[in-house]
Amino acid sequence: MENLWNDNDAAHYANEAKTAGQPEALGLRVYTSRIIGEVADLVLHGGGNTSVKVTDSDSNAIMHVKGSGWDLETIEAPGLPAVKLAPLHAARKEKKLSDSEMVALLRSNLLDPSAPNPSVEALLHAYLPFDFVDHTHSTAVLALANQDKSEDIMREIYGDRLAFLPYVMPGYDLSIAGADLFDRFPNCEGLWLKNHGLFTFGDTAKQSYDRMIDFVTDAENYLAAKGISLPGPETSDRDLDPAIADKLSTALRADGSPFADAIGMDFRSTPSIRTYLSNDDLETIAARGTATPDHVIRIKPFPLIIDADASLDDIASALADYKSRYRAYFDRNAPNASEEKVMLDAWPRMVLIKGLGLVGLGANDKAARIAGDLGEQTARIINAAEQVGTFQPINEADLFDMEYWSLEQAKLQKK
């Protein structure tokens, strides 16, 4: 993983912030957020989050943390809303908070009431005792974090430099669990989140960023030492046959479809995608879940799989089976939810065409492109994970909780 830090660029961002009457540290936070966000193998489409702690003119401790709806690649100072820190720390000593109570706590302590909601992981950023905190969903890390023996792998690579956290639902529970973990291992330089990603932190923007890049590089080197290839994002080298596209579009725009009025279709075919599609256990592997939890709100818990020579009737039949499976998934898990859930549409957001490639689906071209990007990354993650051991993401119940989590649904609606 290339380290993109540049002293001149960092100084430019710090000076811009100072000229605007902002803390120089906020300018550096914008800078390192952007050089993280521009690397698809670190974060994609709103994934990940960053923060910086500063002291205001009245000597009050505040934290600027990524706001909901912002992408790190293009983030600006308004995308890092400021929150008072003292009330957040006080809340840790009180009762467990519900999702709505956590959001209310964060919003009530915004310096600017019109600012976007702070990240759902803002409390963890607040509780880590470092000025800078970074969180990513690295491709290499996810290939290793989605393993039953993920902790053993982490120990082999990093020793005690990272602390291991079993999967915990993002939001309040993750914030408390992550903070408690750090309290037990205060000398660690980052947190390894099983099935989720990586946190790093430091006293300076460069230290936290350097740690992130170094740890991701270590994961990449671990794979390479085992002879496992993990290429970077690949450009599609084929076009979708118009006849297949027409049949797929016709089937997907049937009555009752969320695509009845408009549909975006993003076709990808790369060496990695074709390797993934050639796996003899494709149907089983593809049904296990998403590479990191928040992907489920973009691409559903599993894809639609069809043959390259499928007829229109074949595709319609596969769609009917997909919708039946999705309803069964909802019916199995909804009764266990803490609140009543209303089923989302049962239509796919990802189509795997055996031997050819994948199609990201959306209500428009942008949504389809996002699904395509996540599908392309997923293929590379699974290829590597299956060579390490077995790709094992979060279980179905946890995946359902994420897909139907009120905070994630609100984020998606806002986007």
User: ∠ at Cα 40 (162, 146), nearest 5°?
Assistant: 45
Domain boundary among 198, 225, 252: 225
Taking the C-alpha atoms of residue 132 and residue 211, their distance in angstroms, rounded to an integer, is 11
Instruction: Identify whether 237 is part of a domain.
Output: no
- Supply the CATH number for residue 314's domain: 3.40.225
pTM over 0.85: yes
Q: For the chain, what percent of residues have pLDDT higher than 70?
A: 98
Residues 167 and 311 in one domain: no
Residues 116 and 66 in one domain: yes
Instruction: Identify whether 114 is part of a domain.
Output: yes
Instruction: Identify whether 232 is part of a domain.
Output: no
Above 60 in pLDDT, residue 30?
yes
pLDDT attached to residue 320: 97
Nearest Cα neighbor of 3 from 190, 185, 205 is 205
Q: Which residues of 37-60 are buried (b: 16+ CB within 10 A; e: fewer)?
A: bebbbbbbbbbbbbbbbbeeeeee
- What is the chain's length? 415
What are 359-385's pLDDT values in tens digits?
999 999 999 999 999 999 999 999 999
| CB 165 within 8 Å of CB 226 | no
- Mean residue pLDDT across the chain: 95
Domain boundary among 173, 195, 225: 225
Residues 123 and 221 in one domain: yes
**DSSP-derived 3-state class of residue 239:** coil
Residues 147 and 259 in one domain: no
Across the range 28-36, mean pLDDT stands at 98
Identity of residue 13:
Y
Domain boundary among 225, 251, 279: 225
Across the range 267-285, mean pLDDT stands at 97
**DSSP-derived 3-state class of residue 359:** strand
Residues 298 and 383 in one domain: yes
- Supply the CATH number for residue 151's domain: 3.40.225.10
Q: How many CB atoms lie within 10 A of CB 353?
A: 23
> Among 88-102, 181-195, 196-210, 259-273, whose mean pLDDT is lowest?
88-102
Please count the structural domains in the chain: 2
Across the range 25-32, mean pLDDT stands at 98
pLDDT attached to residue 414: 55
The 3-class SS string of 18-87 reads HHCCCCHHHHHHHHHHHHHHCCCCCCCCCCCEEEEEEECCCCCEEEEECECCCCHHHCCHHHCCEEEHHH
Taking the C-alpha atoms of residue 301 and residue 24, their distance in angstroms, rounded to an integer, is 42
Above 70 in pLDDT, residue 147?
yes
SS3 of the chain: helix, strand, coil, percent, to 5: 50, 15, 40
The answer for residues whose C-beta is within 8 angstroms of residue 2's C-beta and 6 or more apart is 213
Q: Which domain holds residue 13?
A: 7-225
Residues 288 and 188 in one domain: no
Instruction: Identify whether 76 is part of a domain.
Output: yes
Instruction: Identify whether 100 is part of a domain.
Output: yes
The answer for residues whose C-beta is within 8 angstroms of residue 277's C-beta and 6 or more apart is 352, 353, 354, 355, 356, 357, 358, 379
Q: Which two tokens stand for residue 99?
A: 């999702």
Above 70 in pLDDT, residue 413?
no
